[in-house]
Chains A and B, each alone.
Chain A
Amino acid sequence: MSRKMNNQEEFRRDAEVSACRLIRHPEETQEQKLHSGKNKLIVNISPHLHKDESVSKIMWMVVISLIPAGIAGVIIFGLEALQVILLGVVSALVAECVIQLLTKRRITVLDGSAFLTGLLLAYNLPPKVPFWLPIVGSFFAVAIGKQVFGGLGQNIFNPALVGRVFLMASWPKHMTAFTKPLTYDAVTSATPLAVLKEGRVLEHVSNWNLFWGIRGGCIGEVCIFALILGALLLFIRGYISWHIPITYTVVVGLFTYIFGTKGLFSGDWLFHILSGGLILGAFFMATDYVTSPLTRKGQIIFGVGCGLITAIIRLWGGYPEGVSYAILMMNAATPIIDRYTKSRIYGTR
């Protein structure tokens, strides 16, 4: 996390400018406030500007923004969904704690990153999985996805997606057994994308139902309304910018519209945007600070790449859904993107 943070980057630039003039910024630190009564001019070493942000605050904010989608998932799929979410979160916290104890590192369970990983992983699971699946997935996500690389900020891939892909490759039977929405019974149903992939016309789900989440799918991905509500919160607070999620969504829409099933420029783009895990992936997982590019230009490349890979997997690939693979592949490309979009330092060539 320390590697990047866009608002922080801008901030640092501002700080350098104002440091020369020693002006006071309205957002002062607690320490400065204490002194402000007697001393108007403070001479200290940089950084001179502080923002009341921290890694854990941003993490917990993302967790809060994901809560509506979780509530929607529990309403749509029943209390089993809640059980999966709780198991995922608790085992991610336990895994983080155990590994940091074993490797004798500082225990940072409460910084929210493990909580977020467990939560995102659970949101990516079908509601009726056996109880051990979220536990194994969370352990794998935290241990192999993050701690093996050295902990938060060092991981190459989004840990939650690493966990999901591991579960998908290990127990595909459980990971593709979706239940019918709003029945609270063990009635299985395919996701709209799987129906499309197999070319069946079993049940038509209207776009309106897709928007509210009345369809088969993973716990956190179904209710687009709740996801957008959460994403708006992150936009307003400035924690995510439009660059990755919007380009991602637009490219998927554009691509699926151009290469429709009934010939060029006839695709059902709205269906592709609203179904599957696109919104959850684009707004909450592709925007992960650690694993996405630093610069605006890089973020746009990242979003376009994710969109292209997702659309290609959905239209011609072997799987009905490609969001998790697309994001992981672009995660792998992030260091290269960062290298070639590095902003020029003023005064150098």
Chain B
Amino acid sequence: MKKYFSEFLKGIIKENPTFVLVLGLCPTLAVSTSVTNGVGMGIAATFVLLGSNMIVAMIKNIVPDRIRIPCFIVVIATFVTIAEMTMKAYSPALDRALGIYVPLIVVNCIVLGRAEAYAQKQTVLNSLFDGLGMGVGFTLALILISAIREALGTGKILGFTLAHKFEPAFVLGMPSGALLVIGLLLGFFNVLKGKRE
């Protein structure tokens, strides 16, 4: 049990997909404008990661090596379609806000990266916990980035106004603001990492 727990935990801090592996930056830049969007994107990606990691670990022995990428993509696309349709049915507002970025989870490099680098070499249970950890790590990173951007860029958090006198900086709501925030956070975490080593 302890082994599974460490598989889960490594995706959150030690191998955080956004701040350590620096994967999946495209959706991170695009949807981190508000915490709601960030959480929605994180949950969708976590679901896809869980499913794809599990199936890829199951079929790893019957998939010929030369066509493994297309096979993985088919598996991933299946789960993305499920996530997208569920989102359309139960939370159309979130679906509209995330737009093209939900179907684009298919080509999200975290998902394919974990399938290629981890799930195709590991047991089903290990892969399951790895996918869950990576998904949670991605979600937490999205929440952190989008909280900063929403608070400073619009003066609100989850739709609640923080301070009335505060004049939000529009730039943080724009893509350039996302690059700024991600860059500074990356630098900050690298400094922390350097201190610990």
Residues in A lying within 8 Å of B, measured CB to CB: 144, 148, 166, 169-172
Contact = CB atoms under 8 A, between A and B. Distances in A.
A9 B53 CA distance: 59
Nearest to B153: A170
B170 A170 contact: yes
Contacts of B180: 144
Contacts of B174: 169
Interface string B156-195: 0000000000010111101010001000000100000000
Contacts of B171: 166, 169-170
Q: In terms of DSSP, what is the predominant structure of the interface of chain B?
A: helix
B176 A169 contact: yes
B153 to A, nearest CB: 9
A172 B187 contact: no
Contacts of A170: 169-172
Q: In terms of DSSP, what is the predominant structure of the interface of chain A?
A: helix
Centre residue among A144, A166, A170, A172 by max chain B CB count within 10 A: A170
A37 to B, nearest CB: 54
Contacts, number: 15
Contacts of A169: 170-171, 174, 176
Q: What are the nearest 10 A-B pairs in CB distance?
A: A170-B169, A169-B171, A170-B171, A170-B170, A166-B171, A169-B170, A171-B167, A171-B169, A169-B174, A169-B176
Contacts of A166: 171
A148 B167 contact: no
A148 B191 CA distance: 13
A170 B171 CA distance: 5
A170 B168 CA distance: 8
11 contacts: A144-B180, A148-B187, A166-B171, A169-B170, A169-B171, A169-B174, A169-B176, A170-B172, A171-B167, A171-B169, A172-B170
A172 B174 CA distance: 14
Contacts of B187: 148
B154 to A, nearest CB: 12
A154 to B, nearest CB: 15
A14 to B, nearest CB: 42
Given A169-B170, A169-B171, A170-B169, 12 more contacts: A144-B180, A148-B187, A166-B171, A169-B174, A169-B176, A170-B170, A170-B171, A170-B172, A171-B167, A171-B169, A171-B170, A172-B170
A171 B174 CA distance: 13
Contacts of A144: 180
B33 to A, nearest CB: 15
Contacts of B172: 170
Contacts of A172: 170
A69 B74 CA distance: 66
Contacts of B169: 170-171
Nearest to B167: A171
Centre residue among B171, B176, B187 by max chain A CB count within 10 A: B171
Contacts of B176: 169
A169 B153 CA distance: 11
A166 B169 CA distance: 9
A171 B153 CA distance: 11
A148 B167 CA distance: 25
A15 B176 CA distance: 46
Contacts of B167: 171
A171 B187 CA distance: 26
A117 B180 CA distance: 20
A148 B170 CA distance: 22
A63 B103 CA distance: 54
Nearest to B187: A148
B45 to A, nearest CB: 29
A327 B44 CA distance: 42
B149 to A, nearest CB: 12
B113 to A, nearest CB: 28
B129 to A, nearest CB: 37
A171 B172 CA distance: 11
Contacts of A171: 167, 169-170
A93 B171 CA distance: 24
Nearest to A170: B169
A169 B187 CA distance: 23
